[in-house]
Amino acid sequence: MDEIRVRYAPSPTGYVHIGNLRTALYNYLFAKSKGGKFILRIEDTDQTRKVEGAVENIISILKWAGLDYDEGPMKGGSDGPYYQSERLAIYSEHCGYLLEKKKAYYCFCTAERLTALREEQQKQKLPQTKYDKHCLHLSEDEVKKNLDAGMPHVIRLNVEPGQIIKFRDYVREDVEFHSDMVDDQILMKSDGFPTYHLANVIDDHLMKVSHVIRGEEWLPSTPKHVLLYDAFGWEKPVFAHLPLLLNPDRSKLSKRQGDVAVEDYRKKGYLKEALINFIALLGWTAGDDKEIYNLDELIKSFSLDRVNKSGAVFDIEKLNWLNAEHLRAKPDEEILGMLKEELTETKYAGFSDDYLLNIIAAMRPRVSFIKEFITNCLYFYEDPETYEEASVKKGWKPQSKDILMKFAEKISLFDTPAKEEYEKALKETAAEFSVGNGAVIHPLRLATSGVSGGPGIFDICFILGKEKTVERIKRAVEVLK
């Protein structure tokens, strides 16, 4: 196998889990770093678990994240279509081959019999419940009779007991399973649809997939797949099972402890750059201290050799930090676009680009999320209605009224004061009252913003402009006396 071909093979059963995006990302990075192809294949053979709109969602998330696939739905390619539900004839033909070679057999057992069997095995405390190969022993005539009579049936893989199933995994190296632990897996269901195992192996072979890179939860399925490759006489791909994603308490990452759907993070305003960077580091490291990567840098640095075996802890603080880093590194124009989009969702639309760019410059070091360009400094968008009580107590003195009115008078002399002119007016005011600058700054901050924190006071005054600054001073003086 010389061409590198990998695939992301999601089942359209609902939201896209963070772990799925990591699988897609690692496949993408591996393909791109090796000049190979990244294929998207929709594994939609489980009719009961199909969710309307899930495929569109998968595609939209890949697009959003910048993980463009080379072959797949709506992209065509030599081995399409890439919906398994459109490839049923292929699976059934291949299953026919396995039946002929006696590697698979028809099973007519009823649900009642299977339940009774399972209960019996549980009672005996067997290490694992397994099908007992009852139907393997049916004669050809019996099978034919049952089929002719239209008896419901499945087709099972005939797993020979007493074998060691060995394969090499890129991450876990040599892996061994005892075939006694492997059930006679169903390959074809009674509805005529293949199971995941059968369709997955056939497609990986026919689509010339060179490396199967997927989550560790699929490791127990791999011996079944290995048996299938052997039964067909096919060369196996290289397997690489990615470590589990864990909650901080090292339990498996689950919905109960926080968001696991990529959509949730997208809705909360995480940047794709941050999420991709974060996910890339969930199970992989370049081996140095570098933590901030863009997608191109990831392509250059990624290698399967450096994927860890042990579980990767999902640390939301790190994601937040990365979000801030990526956000702050963005050019003004890009932040402006995102901010304007965010503002359309609020009552604050309609500010000029220049005004917003000033806010961006002042707030850039103080935000981690786009929405914080609004929520952390509402005073740039509307007049403060109230004044932070504790700061009033601390910073508003009997003299503050006169001080601020003096300051207002001084800045009124300028047409459009520059930052330095606000500073000059402030210093002069302080000198005239023989007080420190703080005796002007604190009440001025309260008057203009209603709060005590934020960017520099001259930035605030400058962004608001002379009229707004004076207007707010007058109002504060009236309210706070």
Residues binding ligand GLU: what is the number (CB under 6 A)? 8
- Of 471, 470, 467, 445, the closest CA to residue 458 belongs to 445
Question: Which is nearer to ligand GLU, 12 or 454 (by Cβ)?
Answer: 12
Question: Which is nearer to ligand GLU, 8 or 381 (by Cβ)?
Answer: 8
Residue 218 sits in the site that holds ligand GLU (CB under 6 A): yes
Backbone angles phi, psi at 232, to 5 degrees: -80, -15
Record the tokens describing residue 19, joined without a space. Answer: 């772990």
Indicate if 255 belongs to the active site. Answer: yes
Contact with ligand GLU (CB under 6 A) among 9, 143, 298, 335: 9
Which range, of 4-12, 30-38, 292-300, 424-432, touches ligand GLU by CB under 6 A?
Answer: 4-12
- Of 289, 221, 319, the closest CA to residue 18 belongs to 319
* Secondary structure of residue 371 in the 3-state scheme: coil
Distance of CA 135 to the CA centre of its chain: 44
Least distance to ligand GLU, CB of residue 222, Å:
9
Distance CA 469, CA 44 (A): 61
Residue 228 sits in the site that holds ligand GLU (CB under 6 A): no
> Quick one: 188 exposed, middle or buried, by C-beta within 10 A (0-12, 13-18, 19+)?
buried
CB neighbour list of residue 269: distance below 8 Å, 6 or more residues apart: 342, 369, 370, 371
Residue 46 sits in the site that holds ligand GLU (CB under 6 A): no
Question: Which is nearer to ligand GLU, 200 or 301 (by Cβ)?
Answer: 200
Least distance to ligand GLU, CB of residue 63, Å:
19
Q: Are 374 and 348 in contact, with CB atoms under 8 Å apart?
A: yes
Residue 214 sits in the site that holds ligand GLU (CB under 6 A): yes
Contact with ligand GLU (CB under 6 A) among 185, 200, 368, 449: 200
CB neighbour list of residue 328: distance below 8 Å, 6 or more residues apart: 364, 365, 367
Least distance to ligand GLU, CB of residue 20, Å:
7
Least distance to ligand GLU, CB of residue 255, Å:
16
Record the tokens describing residue 227, joined without a space. Answer: 């048996």
Question: Which is nearer to ligand GLU, 22 or 466 (by Cβ)?
Answer: 22
Residue 31 sits in the site that holds ligand GLU (CB under 6 A): no
Question: Which is nearer to ligand GLU, 17 or 133 (by Cβ)?
Answer: 17
Handedness of CA 43, 174, 231, 144 (dihedral sign): negative
Residue 72 sits in the site that holds ligand GLU (CB under 6 A): no
Least distance to ligand GLU, CB of residue 85, Å:
13
Contact with ligand GLU (CB under 6 A) among 11, 301, 358, 469: 11
Least distance to ligand GLU, CB of residue 41, Å:
8
Question: Which is nearer to ligand GLU, 43 or 421 (by Cβ)?
Answer: 43
- First-to-last alpha carbon distance for the chain, in angstroms, is 82
* Secondary structure of residue 350 in the 3-state scheme: coil
Distance CA 197, CA 11 (A): 13
Which range, of 9-17, 54-62, 385-393, 446-454, touches ligand GLU by CB under 6 A?
Answer: 9-17
Contact with ligand GLU (CB under 6 A) among 16, 43, 280, 450: 43
Distance CA 66, CA 50 (A): 25
Question: Which is nearer to ligand GLU, 21 or 404 (by Cβ)?
Answer: 21
Question: Which is nearer to ligand GLU, 261 or 359 (by Cβ)?
Answer: 261
Distances from the Cα of 95 to the Cαs of 2, 88, 165, 193, in angstroms? 28, 11, 21, 11
Distance CA 31, CA 36 (A): 4
Question: Which is nearer to ligand GLU, 200 or 368 (by Cβ)?
Answer: 200
| 157 DSSP β-pair partners | 104
Single-letter amino acid code for the residue at 177: F
Least distance to ligand GLU, CB of residue 332, Å:
40
Residue 84 sits in the site that holds ligand GLU (CB under 6 A): no
Which range, of 8-16, 103-111, 395-403, 427-435, touches ligand GLU by CB under 6 A?
Answer: 8-16
- Of 395, 407, 385, 370, the closest CA to residue 453 belongs to 395
Which range, of 5-13, 71-79, 142-150, 291-299, touches ligand GLU by CB under 6 A?
Answer: 5-13
Q: Which position among 252, 255, 268, 394 bears the catalytic label?
A: 255
Contact with ligand GLU (CB under 6 A) among 4, 10, 55, 279: 10
Distance CA 452, CA 294 (A): 36
Least distance to ligand GLU, CB of residue 218, Å:
5
Distance CA 258, CA 294 (A): 26
Distance CA 456, CA 445 (A): 9
> Residue 52 CB: number of other CB atoms within 10 A?
8
Distance CA 301, CA 304 (A): 10
Residue 391 sits in the site that holds ligand GLU (CB under 6 A): no
Interaction site with ligand GLU (CB under 6 A): 9-11, 43, 196, 200, 214, 218
Residues belonging to the active site: 255
